[in-house]
Amino acid sequence: MTNRCRSMVVLALLNGAFLTVGAAGATYTNPVIDEIGPADPTVILFEGTYYMYCTGDNVSYHVYTSGDLVHWTKGDKVFEPGERNVWAPDVFRDPTDGKFYLYYTVNKRIGAAVADRPDGTFEDRATFFHNAIDAHMFYDSGRYYLYYVQLPGFRIHVQPMKTPLEKEGEPIKLLWPTEPWERKRGDVTEGPWMLKHKGTYYLLYSGTGADSLDYAIGYATASQPTGSFVKYAGNPIVHRTQRAFGPGHGCVVTDAAGELWSVYHQQKDDTEPWNRFICIDPLWFDDQGVLHGKATRDTPEPAPASADK
């Protein structure tokens, strides 16, 4: 079944108040985790279970598990570096050795830790960058690319990698704050996440200050993972609404039915800047290859039918 047909079947079964997630048919409303604080999530799907890691208690990372992206169970700590300011993890399973690599930010230092299981204890193995945040590993055609944000200036770079733990060559600057929406409450481009669709590379990122209600998500495209990237003229594609405040900094995961989901955070309300919680909403491509998304709160609308991939 094509993605367009699958989406139309899903819509025909809905009552208009909830979305269906994956083959299991679970429905959701945001937030999907009843906890204030978690933010900057990354999710992987491994052997039928979703594993989520996020900014949390500021000193460690916990793992959350789910069978459907909707119902989550908080598990044990998987990495505790012994310092504060532990933020924005990224976890990557290397298809060549089967190991799991946790790319962490600790005190504006990016490094990597390794485990044999997604819910195991990660052991620190490398340090890559200082005065940097928000690492994300992307694997494409046998090559590794580590995206991250260099400070000051919130400049998104990519570091070609020989292996998940070894650099290869010099980093390449890709994006920096230039657009009005990226500079509305502070000049910021951060939280990079790479997505490939029909030979085009889509670099998603979040713009303006993360502590603002105007935090939002946009993307840029290129013909190769090292750029050069052109920002989409319709950015941001995910932004605040009357109910959703400051949506941003997340990941993209493909569910068991082949549909794309954005897992990200929102602000609880407009009273304090770091009252954040975890949400999910669909992403979809139209027939022209334009990427679309949205931010919802409590009762999302049905997702539009997606184009064939």
d(CA 121, CA 62): 10
The 3-state secondary structure of 14-56 reads CCCCCEEECCCCEEECCCCCCCCCCEEEEEEEECCEEEEEEEC
Total count of domains within the chain:
1
H or E, element range at 148: strand 143-150
The pLDDT tens digits for 112-141 are 999 999 999 999 999 999 999 999 999 999
Residue 301 lies in a domain: no
In-domain check, residue 308: no
Domain for residue 249, yes or no?
yes
- Say if 303 falls within a structural domain: no
Instruction: Identify whether 309 is part of a domain.
Output: no
Provide the CATH number for the domain around residue 104.
2.115.10.20
- Please give the model's pTM, rounded to 2 decimal places: 0.90
What range does the domain containing 136 cover? 3-292
- For residue 300, being part of any structural domain is answered with no
How does pLDDT run across 274-306, given as a tens digit for each residue?
Answer: 999 999 999 999 999 999 999 999 865 444 333
Point out the residues of the chain with pLDDT beneath 70. 1-26, 299-309
Q: Is residue 305 part of a domain?
A: no
